[in-house]
């Protein structure tokens, strides 16, 4: 996992085994973004 701070807000970014972002969570632990796959 990695993180980002934007305007004082903390975000956790979860990646796959290649380092590609797949999910993001805010500082309250709520999922705010998820990767969509088009297969």
Q: Given this model, what pLDDT does residue 39 score?
A: 81
Q: Given this model, what pLDDT does residue 1 score?
A: 65
Q: Given this model, what pLDDT does residue 13 score?
A: 97
Can you give the C-alpha Rg of the chain in angstroms? 11
Q: What's the gap between Cα 21 and its chain centre?
A: 6
Q: Given this model, what pLDDT does residue 38 score?
A: 85
12, 1 Cβ separation under 8 angstroms: yes
The string of pLDDT tens digits covering residues 1-39 is 689 999 999 999 999 999 999 999 999 999 999 999 888
Q: Given this model, what pLDDT does residue 37 score?
A: 82
């Amino acid at each position: 996992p990695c993180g980002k701070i934007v305007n004082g807000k903390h975000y956790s970014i979860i990646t796959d085994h290649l380092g590609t972002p797949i999910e993001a969570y805010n500082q309250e632990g709520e999922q705010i973004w998820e990767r969509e796959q088009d297969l």
